[in-house]
Amino acid sequence: MNKGPVKTKDFVAFLKYKKCVYKRTEASHDHYKCPNCWRTITIREKDKEVPFFHIKTNSTTMGIKVEEVYNWINENR
Q: Provide the residue ranges of all domains of the chain, joining segments of one domain with +.
A: 6-75
The residues that bridge with 24 in the sheet, in sequence order, are 31
Return phi, psi of residue 36, to 5°: 65, 10
Question: What's the CA gap between 30 and 16, in Å, rounded?
Answer: 14
Strands 6-7 and 21-26: unpaired
- pTM here is 0.92
Q: Which CATH architecture has domain 6-75?
A: 2-Layer Sandwich (3.30)
pLDDT at 73 over 80: yes
Residue pLDDT, tens place only, 7-65: 999 999 999 999 999 999 999 999 999 998 889 999 999 999 999 999 999 999 999 99
Q: 3 or 56: which carries more pLDDT confidence?
A: 56
Question: What's the CA gap between 46 and 18, in Å, rounded?
Answer: 21
For residue 4, the SS3 value is coil
